[in-house]
Amino acid sequence: MGWLQFFELGFLVNVNISTYQPGASLLAVGLNWWQAIIVIEAGSIVTGILTVLNSISDTPSSVVQFGVCIGFSVYGAYFPVLNRILLSLVWYGVQAVIGGKVVFVCLRSIWPTLDRRIQNTLPENIGITSEEFVGYFIFIVICCVFIWFKPHQLRLYFHAGAGAGAGLSLVAFVALLGWALGTKGPEESLDDAFDDVLSSRVLLLAGLSAVA
Whole-number pLDDT of residue 189: 57
Whole-number pLDDT of residue 55: 74
Q: How many CA atoms lie within 13 A of 149 on its CB side?
A: 12
pLDDT digits over 124-143, tens only?
A: 787 778 888 888 889 999 88
Whole-number pLDDT of residue 36: 80
Q: What is the DSSP secondary structure assignment for residue 35, as one 8-state letter?
A: H
Q: CA 172, CA 19: separation in Å to the nearest integer?
A: 13
Whole-number pLDDT of residue 190: 57
Backbone phi, psi, residue 124, to 5°: -75, -15
Q: How many CA atoms lie within 13 A of 89 on its CB side?
A: 5
SS3 labels along 148-171: HCCHHHHHHHHHHHHHHHHHHHHH
- Domain spans, the chain: 34-64, 75-175
**DSSP-derived 3-state class of residue 94:** helix
Whole-number pLDDT of residue 183: 76
pLDDT under 70: residue ranges of the chain: 1-5, 8-9, 16-17, 57-67, 158, 161-163, 165-166, 184-202, 206-207, 209-212
pLDDT digits over 53-81, tens only?
A: 877 766 666 666 666 777 777 777 788 88
Which residues touch 105 (CB under 8 Å, ≥6 apart)? Answer: 135
